[in-house]
Amino acid sequence: MDEIVVLMTAPSKEEGEKIGRALVEMKLAACANIFSPISSIFSWEGKISQEQEALVILKTRRECFARLAEEVKRRHPYSVPEIIALPLIEGSSDYLNWIRGNTRP
């Protein structure tokens, strides 16, 4: 299956929406869902931090990932943004066709 889900965090809902909209407009993602706020606990520069962030879930294709990741890095305020992809194991054929029809590598 070529379709993937990409997870990305952003420092705010507005920032997540801005990046998500750009990726959809560029057809690097078919959809961006933004969940905000989320509470993130992480290790950064030798200490444990806790921040409020937004989680962006992007639906796309594996062959779009490299360009999508480049665009996220270019637009994102973090020096090391979260950009991870998860494979889809199953999905309705109508929805998967919709993803394919709304993305291009």
**CATH code, domain carrying 7:** 3.30.70.120
Contact criterion met (CB below 8 Å) for 65 and 85: yes
Could you read off the pLDDT of 74-98 as tens digits, one per residue? 999 999 999 999 999 999 999 999 9
- The pLDDT of residue 97: 97
Going from the C-alpha of 25 to that of each of 1, 43, 61, 88, the distances in angstroms are 24, 33, 15, 23
For the chain, the domain total comes to 1
pTM for the structure as a whole? 0.95
Domain containing residue 85: 3-101
- The pLDDT of residue 7: 98
